[in-house]
């Protein structure tokens, strides 16, 4: 089942609103038993629709450092390594990467601490420009939107309808729409693995 149904969407919305709800509480709202809710949530996690459960923490209550918005422009070929470097910093609350090789990060550091932290993390990277702004307030309100989710084939990128084919690797699970795409994907994955191993 590649497309998420209305019940999946309702469960996702309930979890976005409060991820601490029990399966029983969710089940009452979507008219399912707790084990059925558990199965659906497990399936959503396996498919990567739910990546993790988290909390919305008011960081200003935990630290004296103000929230700071860091906007960085880098060369397009350097964007992934810059994002990876920033992702490793435990003081980065969130990262946004845009299509034009810009990275925006919300961090909780003072000015001096921020300069040291960022210069260490981004040493060796070419920054075309950067801007630092103090943040007055942060309001985090995640939304699912009005469109539905569909699981797409890792090979042809089309929506999967019916039963999918799954391939497990060390890194993740891939979903494919048919045996032809499975064969193409396996061939490509093997070639890329051999190339990265130097075989």
Helix residue ranges per DSSP H, 34-178: 34-46, 79-87, 111-121
- Please state the φ and ψ torsions of residue 117, each to the nearest 5 degrees: -60, -50
Helix axes 34-46, 6-17, angle to 10 degrees: 90
Domains of the chain: 1-55 (1.10.10.10), 59-134 (3.30.70.920), 152-199 (no CATH)
Residues 47-74, mean pLDDT to the nearest whole number: 78
pLDDT in tens, 44-56: 888 778 888 887 7
User: How many whole angstroms separate alpha carbon 68 and alpha carbon 133?
Assistant: 6
pLDDT on residue 35:
94
Of 2-6, 128-132, 183-187, 190-194, the least confident: 2-6
pLDDT on residue 83:
87
pLDDT in tens, 137-173: 777 777 776 556 677 888 888 888 777 788 887 767 7
Residues 67-74, mean pLDDT to the nearest whole number: 88
User: Within 10 A of 191 (CB to CB), how many other CB atoms are there?
Assistant: 11
């Amino acid at each position: 089942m590649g497309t998420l149904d209305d019940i999946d969407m309702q469960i996702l919305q309930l979890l976005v609103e409060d991820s601490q709800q029990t399966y029983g509480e969710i089940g009452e709202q979507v008219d399912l038993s707790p084990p059925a809710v558990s199965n659906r949530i497990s399936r959503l996690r396996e498919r990567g629709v739910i990546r993790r459960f988290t909390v919305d923490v008011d960081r200003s209550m935990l630290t004296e450092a103000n929230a700071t918005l860091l906007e960085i422009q880098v060369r397009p070929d350097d964007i992934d390594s810059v994002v990876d470097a920033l992702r490793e910093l435990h003081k980065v609350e969130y990262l946004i990467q845009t299509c034009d090789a810009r990275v925006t990060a919300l961090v909780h550091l003072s000015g001096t601490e921020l300069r040291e932290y960022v210069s260490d993390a981004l040493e060796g990277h070419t920054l075309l420009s950067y801007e630092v702004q103090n943040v007055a307030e942060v309001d985090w309100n995640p939304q699912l939107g009005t469109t539905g989710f569909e699981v797409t084939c890792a090979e042809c990128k089309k929506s999967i309808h019916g039963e999918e084919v799954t391939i497990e690797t060390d890194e993740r699970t891939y979903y494919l729409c048919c045996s032809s795409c499975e064969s193409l994907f396996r061939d490509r994955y093997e070639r890329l693995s051999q190339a990265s191993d130097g075989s």
